[in-house]
């Protein structure tokens, strides 16, 4: 597995067959966004904030409250602010829609400037081959002061890797448009939940 560099990224984005192409759309300013070995990606307009007062805890065994009871979707227009307070975690969709070919996987990480200001962009960073949709960023402010976020700004970057023997991802995160919360109690892979979790 090797990191895909600038020239190869451009080739991936320009592959003739659409099914084999790497899609990042809209890539508003490729010359600015395509780096040496990564691509800068932008914040979208959707944020998901937790309403703590409505949520006792997140526990895969007991979480049966409807999502909208403990989440608030917050839509921020371009040129408007979103304040991320210290130690606050929110979910945010990327502006771009992605489609990875099956021979490519990726990880999402902070851009250095934002990272040094305390912004962690993703805690679950892997993007599987064949993934299609917007990516939900897990934004966490580890700094001591509130961070002001604006939709459309590049806060994260995505690093791509060659992937041999990959198969297309069709899991719960696929084909989303906007930020998306993954309900722990509805993890489809927990078919053996009775074995691992108390009843």
Query: Catalytic residues, which ones?
Result: 138
Nearest to 48 by CA among 8, 89, 5, 96: 89
Q: Which is nearer to another protein, 1 or 19 (CB)?
A: 19
- Four-CA torsion 22, 28, 30, 34, nearest 10 degrees: -70
**Distance of alpha carbon 41 from alpha carbon 137, whole angstroms:** 11
* Residues at the site binding another protein, with contacts judged by CB under 8 A: 10, 13-15, 18-19, 21, 23, 25-26, 28-32, 45, 73-79, 97, 99, 132-133, 152, 174-175, 177
Query: Where do the DSSP E strands lie in the chain?
Result: 23-25, 39-50, 71-75, 82-84, 89-99, 104-110, 119-120, 126-127, 132-141, 147-149, 154-162
Minimum distance from residue 26 beta carbon to another protein (Å): 5
**Distance of alpha carbon 40 from alpha carbon 154, whole angstroms:** 6
Minimum distance from residue 21 beta carbon to another protein (Å): 7
Q: Which is nearer to another protein, 60 or 176 (CB)?
A: 176
Minimum distance from residue 123 beta carbon to another protein (Å): 25
Q: Which is nearer to another protein, 74 or 162 (CB)?
A: 74
């Amino acid at each position: 597995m090797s990191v895909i560099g600038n020239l190869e990224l451009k080739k991936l984005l320009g592959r003739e067959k659409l099914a084999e192409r790497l899609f990042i759309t809209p890539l508003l300013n490729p010359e600015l966004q395509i780096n040496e070995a990564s691509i800068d990606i932008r914040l979208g307009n959707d944020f998901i904030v937790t309403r703590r007062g409505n949520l006792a805890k997140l526990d895969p065994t007991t979480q049966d409250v409807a999502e909208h009871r403990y989440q608030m979707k917050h839509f921020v227009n371009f040129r408007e602010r979103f304040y991320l307070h210290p130690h606050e975690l929110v979910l945010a969709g990327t502006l771009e829609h992605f489609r990875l070919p099956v021979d490519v996987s990726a990880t999402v990480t902070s851009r250095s400037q934002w990272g040094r200001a305390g912004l962690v962009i993703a805690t679950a960073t892997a993007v599987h081959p064949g993934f299609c949709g917007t990516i939900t960023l897990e934004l966490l402010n580890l700094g001591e002061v509130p961070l002001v976020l604006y939709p459309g700004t590049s806060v994260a970057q995505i690093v791509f890797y060659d992937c041999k023997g990959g198969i297309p991802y069709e899991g719960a995160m696929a084909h989303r448009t906007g930020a998306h919360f993954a309900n722990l109690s509805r993890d489809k892979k927990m078919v053996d939940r009775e074995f691992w979790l108390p009843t």
